[in-house]
A and B are shown apart, each in its own frame.
Chain A
Amino acid sequence: SQQGEEDPQALSIQEGENATMNCSYKTSINNLQWYRQNSGRGLVHLILIRSNEREKHSGRLRVTLDTSKKSSSLLITASRAADTASYFCATVLSGGYNKLIFGAGTRLAVHP
Chain B
Amino acid sequence: EVLLVESGGVVVQPGGSLRLSCAASGFTFDDYTMHWVRQAPGKGLEWVSLISWDGGSTNYADSVKGRFTVSRDNSKNSLYLQMNSLRTEDTALYYCVNEHWGDGYFDLWGRGTLVTVSS
A and B: interacting chains: no
